[in-house]
């Protein structure tokens, strides 16, 4: 067995708010290996982005509390101090965000922002850093990188901004990339280009990737392993083939049936999951999905299920997965 | 210019007649210099033709900036078209005076993309639904109230939520309220501008089903605008694919997905990530970005990104050709 690159163990992230403590991520566990892409999928409010931000500890430190372990190369990075964490951010673990326009600084050129990442982590002269930045830009498939280097974020298109952000994240050759909905704001043809870029660079650098998305199509396309989240918990954890061919949790099954298929029957009604996601300050007592689940019974309403192993590649958090 | 075209997609279509005929619709947004001189145009919509058939859905797909929303807004006269005509009940609605148009405006309604900004946060949802009825002076106060309550029920909102404010509802519920509001004046045509794009998948399917159900019950005609091809496929009877202000392909839904013709349509279809890891899409990757609509490319607008580009494409604008019954495409490869 390959040694794991990132191991998140029982992560619990809670925020103190005016109305009390809200636990956005409640006991999340997963592992990422080098060269592997782990997909984290779920709907808005399921805690997928908070999980990502917790890994790099990007959340407001005054109001956020992290519990559990985040082991990066065997070391728990939650115990590191600010300075040590700064060494890891960007250098070892990098992140790309959904909205490139708000993630890039509008008053600096693309080039400035990429070289800043280089000089922050490496001892390198200006000229050398510039060259490295331009090389990275061309690796992401930007046309005429020398020209783009001197341009400001507003001067280039959305797809190019996303490429520039990827270049910025990857210029220090990180071992782990966290991609938080990297293609959600883009058109499908540009999305296809960006996913290809990420995949090529992954193979080149042998990175591990945590791909956060709500799009099951993207998951099927790029991921090797998937965790499905619902209301702060992992409800299913499987390799990509089993998840799509053999979904075990009623929520995962529902999600897969909800999407209009490009080759499905158009005249039939779409499957729906009744109701809406409950709010985090009013989490159901038993199984968190029990109120919306078509199979729930008294046990589901009262006792929270645990993440159980179906086989060595597939885990599910449901009392009745073997019966439904 | 005005030539009808026949569709034989299904039986429903055979005796359907066009309710709205849009011809040569253009919308240019002028660009002015700092001194107010007119220096150019953003050619957002550049000569679009399509028909809306009674109780059917026409899907308008394309990527951001292709002009699909502007097209939708123009036929409601939310933005004044630069050129073109839209024949409704034998009259060109673009030529009507504001006052005259007001009389038929209730036949045209819209459901917007963003459920958070399309409802007035200071208005109770009940009032929001009554408002269009007030404007068009439909019924007494009592009738308006009753109808609003009934509409809320129809879209799946409880009657007792009548006096609540928009912020008390989730995105999916707000979209339902937006739909109820559009239905308040008994419209004929509803323009749905990305109605489910801001919603989560589990909520998206609820709203799609509701839209279909409402279409049956209220005998509506939809213009359904979306960038999501699988959603459009589920909703629409006929699909127009737009690129840079022009319709490049138009066909009945099954025909379009079964035999896509235009290279852009093919690339678009192949770019959708499928939720099935076993199928690896044979992808036609198109390079680069959409060109600026201020200076659209000469000839075929797609030639800068087309994998099959020929010398001719750079000079000559391809015309719409009928390939099979009801299937039109504008591409030189078809000659």
Q: Tens of pLDDT along B288-323?
A: 778 888 888 999 999 999 999 999 999 999 999 999
Nearest to A216 among B64, B172, B275 (CB): B275
Name the minimum distance, in Å, from the CA of A120 to any CA of chain B: 32
Q: What is the pLDDT of residue B25?
A: 95
The rounded distance, in Å, linking the Cα atoms of A93 and A110 is 21
Q: What percent of chain B has pLDDT over 70?
A: 95
Residue A69 β-bridge partners: A9
Beta-sheet strands, E only, within chain B = 18-32, 38-53, 57-61, 83-88, 91-92, 108-111, 189-193, 221-226, 238-243, 246-252, 321-324, 327-329
> Which candidate, B255, B270, B279, places its Cα nearest to that of B329?
B255
**Cα dihedral: B281, B284, B288, B290 (round 10):** -100
Sign of CA dihedral A215, A216, A217, A219: positive
Q: What is the pLDDT of residue A95?
A: 94
In this complex, do B289 and A196 lie within 8 Å of one another by their Cβ atoms?
no
Q: Does B288 touch chain A (CB under 8 A)?
A: yes
Q: Tens of pLDDT along B175-222?
A: 999 999 999 999 999 999 999 988 888 889 999 999 999 999 999 999
Q: Which residues of B touch A240 (CB under 8 A)?
A: 277
Residue B266 burial class via C-beta count within 10 angstroms: exposed 0-12, middle 13-18, buried 19 and up: middle
Indicate the pTM of the whole model.
0.87
The rounded distance, in Å, linking the Cα atoms of B247 and B62 is 9
pLDDT at B127 over 90: yes
Q: Which residues of B touch A273 (CB under 8 A)?
A: 202, 205-206
Name the minimum distance, in Å, from the CA of A259 to any CA of chain B: 7
Q: Does A240 touch chain B (CB under 8 A)?
A: yes
The class of domain B7-273+281-334 in CATH terms is alpha beta
The rounded distance, in Å, linking the Cα atoms of B203 and A43 is 10
Length of chain A measured in residues? 324
* Alpha helix stretches (DSSP H) within A2-109: 48-55, 82-88, 100-103
> Which candidate, B317, B190, B170, B186, places its Cα nearest to that of B243?
B317
> Which helix (H) or strand (E) is B149 found in, with range?
helix B141-154
The rounded distance, in Å, linking the Cα atoms of A116 and A123 is 12
> Which candidate, A204, A197, A172, A171, places its Cα nearest to that of A182?
A197
Give the list of residues 6+ apart from residue A113 with CB closer than 8 angstroms, or none. Answer: A104, A105, A164, A168
> Which candidate, B213, B193, B190, B194, places its Cα nearest to that of B106?
B190
Q: Which residues of chain A have pLDDT under 70?
A: 1-2
The full set of domain ranges for chain B reads 7-273+281-334
- Quote the distance between the C-alpha of residue B122 and its chain's center: 29
**Packing angle of the helix pair A126-139, A158-170 (nearest 10 deg):** 130
Q: Does B266 touch chain A (CB under 8 A)?
A: no
Residue A241 burial class via C-beta count within 10 angstroms: exposed 0-12, middle 13-18, buried 19 and up: middle
Q: Are B266 and B260 in contact (CB under 8 A)?
A: yes
Q: Are A151 and A182 in contact (CB under 8 A)?
A: no
Q: Are A47 and A229 in contact (CB under 8 A)?
A: yes
* Alpha helix stretches (DSSP H) within chain A: 48-55, 82-88, 100-103, 110-121, 126-139, 145-149, 158-170, 188-205, 216-222, 240-245, 250-258, 298-302
Nearest to A187 among B63, B172, B269 (CB): B63
Q: Tens of pLDDT along A151-171?
A: 999 988 888 898 899 999 989
In this complex, do B277 and A220 lie within 8 Å of one another by their Cβ atoms?
yes
Q: Does A101 touch chain B (CB under 8 A)?
A: no
Q: Which SS3 state, helix, strand or coil, does residue A79 take?
A: helix
Q: Which SS3 state, helix, strand or coil, does residue A262 take?
A: coil
The rounded distance, in Å, linking the Cα atoms of B94 and B33 is 29
In this complex, do B253 and A266 lie within 8 Å of one another by their Cβ atoms?
yes
In this complex, do B289 and A43 lie within 8 Å of one another by their Cβ atoms?
no
Q: What is the pLDDT of residue B144?
A: 94
Looking at per-residue confidence, does A113 or B8 come out higher?
A: A113
> Which helix (H) or strand (E) is B98 found in, with range?
helix B98-105
Helix, strand, coil % over all residues of chain A, rounded to 5: 35, 25, 40
Q: What is the pLDDT of residue B30?
A: 92
Q: Does B212 touch chain A (CB under 8 A)?
A: yes
Q: Are B329 and B248 in contact (CB under 8 A)?
A: yes
Q: What is the pLDDT of residue B16?
A: 65
The rounded distance, in Å, linking the Cα atoms of B71 and B94 is 13
Give the list of residues 6+ apart from residue A108 with CB closer than 8 angstroms, or none. Answer: A116, A152
End-to-end, the C-alpha distance of chain A in Å comes to 33
Helix then strand count (H, E) for chain A reads 12, 12
Under the banding of pLDDT at 50, 70 and 90, the label for residue B5 is very low
Task: State the SS3 of A160-187.
Answer: HHHHHHHHHHHCCCCCEEEEECCCCCCC
The rounded distance, in Å, linking the Cα atoms of A268 and A266 is 6
Q: Are B189 and B223 in contact (CB under 8 A)?
A: yes
Name the minimum distance, in Å, from the CA of A159 to any CA of chain B: 8
Name the minimum distance, in Å, from the CA of A188 to any CA of chain B: 6
DSSP state of A77: G
Q: Are A32 and A38 in contact (CB under 8 A)?
A: yes
The rounded distance, in Å, linking the Cα atoms of B210 and B215 is 8
Q: Which SS3 state, helix, strand or coil, does residue B104 take?
A: helix
Both tokens assigned to B158? 């409880």
Residue found under tokens 């290809």: A196
Q: What is the mean pLDDT of chain B?
A: 89
Q: Does A221 touch chain B (CB under 8 A)?
A: yes
Q: Which residues of A touch B208 (CB under 8 A)?
A: 260, 270
Name the minimum distance, in Å, from the CA of B213 to any CA of chain A: 9
pLDDT at B15 over 80: no
Q: Which residues of B touch A100 (CB under 8 A)?
A: none
So what's the ipTM on this one?
0.82
């Amino acid at each position: 067995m390959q040694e794991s690159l990132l191991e998140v163990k029982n992560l619990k992230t809670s925020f103190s708010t005016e109305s009390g403590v809200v636990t956005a991520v409640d006991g999340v566990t997963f592992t990422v290996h080098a060269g592997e892409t782990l997909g984290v999928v779920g709907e808005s409010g399921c805690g997928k982005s908070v999980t990502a931000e917790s890994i790099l500890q990007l959340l407001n430190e005054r109001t956020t509390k992290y519990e559990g372990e985040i082991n990066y190369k065997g070391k728990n990075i939650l115990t590191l101090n600010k300075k040590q964490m700064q060494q890891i951010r960007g250098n070892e673990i990098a992140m790309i965000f959904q909205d490139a326009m708000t993630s890039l600084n509008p008053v600096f050129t693309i080039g400035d922002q990429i070289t800043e990442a280089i000089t922050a982590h490496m001892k390198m002269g200006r000229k050398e850093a510039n060259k490295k930045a331009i090389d990275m830009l061309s690796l992401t498939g930007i046309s005429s990188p020398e020209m783009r280097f001197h341009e400001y974020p507003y001067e280039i298109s959305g797809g190019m901004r996303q490429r520039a952000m990827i270049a910025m994240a990857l210029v220090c050759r990180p071992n782990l990339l966290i991609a938080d909905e990297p293609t959600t704001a883009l058109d499908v043809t540009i999305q296809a280009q960006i996913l290809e870029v990420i995949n090529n660079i992954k193979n080149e650098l042998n990175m591990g990737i945590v791909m956060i998305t709500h799009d099951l199509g993207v998951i099927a396309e790029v991921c090797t392993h998937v965790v499905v989240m619902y209301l702060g918990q992992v409800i299913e954890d499987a390799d990509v083939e089993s998840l799509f061919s053999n979904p075990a949790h009623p929520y995962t099954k529902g999600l897969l049936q909800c999407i209009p298929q490009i080759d499905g029957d158009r005249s039939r009604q779409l499957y729906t999951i009744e109701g809406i996601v409950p709010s985090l300050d009013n989490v159901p007592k038993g199984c968190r999905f029990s109120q919306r689940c078509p199979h729930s019974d008294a046990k589901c309403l009262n006792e929270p299920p645990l993440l159980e192993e179906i086989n060595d590649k597939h885990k599910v958090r449901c009392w009745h997965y073997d019966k439904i | 210019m005005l030539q009808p075209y026949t569709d034989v997609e299904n039986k429903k279509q055979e005796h359907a007649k066009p309710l709205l005929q849009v011809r040569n619709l253009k919308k240019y947004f002028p660009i002015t210099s700092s001194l107010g001189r007119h220096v150019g145009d953003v050619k957002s919509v550049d000569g679009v033709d399509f028909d809306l058939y009674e109780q059917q859905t026409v899907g308008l797909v394309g990527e951001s900036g292709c002009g699909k929303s502007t097209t939708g807004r123009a036929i409601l006269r939310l933005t004044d078209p630069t050129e073109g005509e839209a024949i409704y009940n034998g009259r060109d609605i673009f030529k009507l005076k504001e006052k005259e148009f007001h009389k038929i405006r209730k036949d045209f309604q819209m459901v917007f993309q963003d459920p958070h900004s399309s409802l007035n946060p200071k208005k109770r949802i009940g009032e929001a639904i009554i408002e269009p009825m007030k404007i068009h002076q439909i019924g007494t106060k009592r009738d308006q109230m009753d109808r609003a309550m009934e509409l809320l029920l129809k879209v799946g909102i409880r009657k007792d939520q009548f006096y609540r404010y928009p912020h008390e509802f989730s995105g999916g519920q707000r979209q339902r309220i937006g739909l109820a509001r559009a239905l308040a004046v008994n419209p004929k045509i509803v323009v749905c501008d990305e109605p489910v794009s801001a919603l989560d998948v589990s909520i998206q399917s609820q709203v799609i089903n509701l839209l279909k159900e409402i279409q049956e019950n209220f005998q509506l005609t939809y213009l359904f605008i979306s960038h999501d091809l699988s959603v459009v496929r589920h909703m629409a009877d006929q699909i127009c694919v737009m690129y840079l202000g022009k319709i490049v392909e138009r066909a009945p839904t099954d025909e379009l997905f079964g035999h896509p013709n235009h290279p852009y349509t093919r690339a678009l279809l192949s770019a959708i990530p499928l939720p099935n890891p076993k199928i690896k899409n044979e992808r036609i990757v198109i390079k680069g970005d959409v060109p600026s609509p201020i200076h659209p490319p000469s000839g075929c607008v797609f030639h800068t990104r087309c994998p099959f580009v020929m010398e001719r494409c750079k000079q000559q604008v391809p015309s719409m050709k009928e390939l099979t019954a009801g299937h039109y495409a504008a591409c030189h490869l078809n000659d």
